[in-house]
Amino acid sequence: MPRQILLLNGPNLNLLGTREPDVYGATTLDDIVAQLRTIAIERGAELSDQQSNHEGGLVDMLHDARNWADGVLFNPGAYTHTSIALRDAIAATGLAVVEVHLSNVAARESFRQHSMISPVCVGVVSGFGAISYVAALDGLLRHLDEVAA
Over 80: is that where the pLDDT of 22 sits?
no
| Confidence band of 103 (pLDDT split at 50, 70, 90) | confident
Q: Is 44 left (phi over 0), alpha (psi -120 to 50) or beta?
A: left
Mean pLDDT, rounded, for 47-57: 98
Q: How confident is the model at residue 109 (pLDDT cuts 50, 70, 90)?
A: low
Segment among 2-6, 52-56, 94-98, 113-117 with least mean pLDDT: 113-117
Stated as kind and residue range, the H or E segment containing 39 is helix 29-42
| CA–CA dist 14, 82 (Å, integer) | 20
27 DSSP 8-state letter: -
Start-to-end C-alpha separation, the chain: 15
- Alpha-carbon distance 58 to 78, whole Å? 13
Record the pTM. 0.92
By annotation, the residues acting in catalysis are: 24, 101
* All domains of the chain in start order, with CATH: 3-148 (3.40.50.9100)
